[in-house]
Amino acid sequence: MRLLQNLFGREPSSLAVYKKLGYRNDQEGILRRFLREEEGWRAHLEHSKQSIREFYAGKNYKSIAILGSGWLLDVPIDDLLRDFEHIYLVDISHPRQITHKYRHAHNLHFVECDLTGGWARHIYRCVYEKKFYTSADVFDCTPQKLSLPQFDCVVSLNLLNQLDGLLLDAMEDCMVLTDSEIERFKTLVQTQHIQFLSNYKYCLISDCEQISISKIDNSREEKSLVFTPATLPPLRHEWLWNFDSQGHYQSDTIVQFRVKAFF
């Protein structure tokens, strides 16, 4: 196991930036939610793992990168360790429990980097370093060219819709964004991600729609979570993720996600 850093031009204060934007708390929150909702999550996690296995089956790939690896809940890690010469687990930070558990895996590499492609630091500067800023400043960002080690294939794992979420939360705490500005921001971040993936043979697994069901009157609302116009690989699988049955994510609401796997 190796921990690879500075691949994305990380500045010394980046960890503080990510903490301020809530990435560490969000990662810990995922595990807490999983422990509360394990029964409802089980099918989703297995569908994700099976889609990854199917993506690389019979392809003779030697190396693979998993973007958004986190706690490895949805990663078929034992299969990857068996089937690949090199596995790159890529995330903004890695839980210490995970790096410790796999510290002796010779073919496993942990890569820490900003998968938003520079948007996280840009939004941090807008929100926390500028005295005054406007929505025009928000969109004035030159995408950062991501530079990873060479590998044969990539999996973007339940990540696409997460790239913009914490950044929008930070912005909306300090300014009012119109619906069109929110959609524009999501589109830019998601499209940049797909453009990066398109340099490789890739599998995209993402929650694409949110389904909210009221516990009070059983009313139902669906909203799209993916806004990129970029061309995706063929749709292979689709399933429902029973994300929150207890109303923690939205008060008095059952939340499901419609997840799709493209490769």
Residue 157: which H helix or E strand, with range? strand 153-157
Is residue 202 within 8 Å of 56, Cβ to Cβ? Answer: no
Is residue 252 within 8 Å of 213, Cβ to Cβ? Answer: no
Q: Which residues contact 220 (CB under 8 A, 6 or more apart)?
A: 211, 212, 213, 214
Q: pLDDT tens digit string along 19-69?
A: 889 888 899 999 999 999 999 999 999 999 999 999 999 999 999 999 999
Q: Which residues contact 13 (CB under 8 A, 6 or more apart)?
A: none
Q: Extract the tokens encoding 39.
A: 């029964």
Q: Which residues contact 199 (CB under 8 A, 6 or more apart)?
A: none
Statement: residue 213 has pLDDT above 50? yes
- How many CB atoms within 10 Å of residue 88? 23
Statement: residue 5 has pLDDT above 80? no
Q: pLDDT tens digit string along 160-200?
A: 999 999 999 998 888 888 999 999 999 999 999 999 999 99
Q: pLDDT tens digit string along 226-250?
A: 999 999 999 999 999 999 999 999 9
At 7, the pLDDT band (50, 70, 90 cuts) reads very low
Q: pLDDT tens digit string along 106-162?
A: 999 999 888 888 899 889 888 888 767 777 888 887 767 666 778 999 999 999 999
**Sign of CA pseudo-dihedral 27, 251, 160, 129:** negative
At 206, the pLDDT band (50, 70, 90 cuts) reads very high
Report the predicted TM-score, pTM, of the whole model to 2 decimal places.
0.90
At 13, the pLDDT band (50, 70, 90 cuts) reads low
At 37 the three-state DSSP class reads coil
**Residue 254: CA count within 13 A, CB half-sphere:** 14
Residue 224: which H helix or E strand, with range? strand 220-224
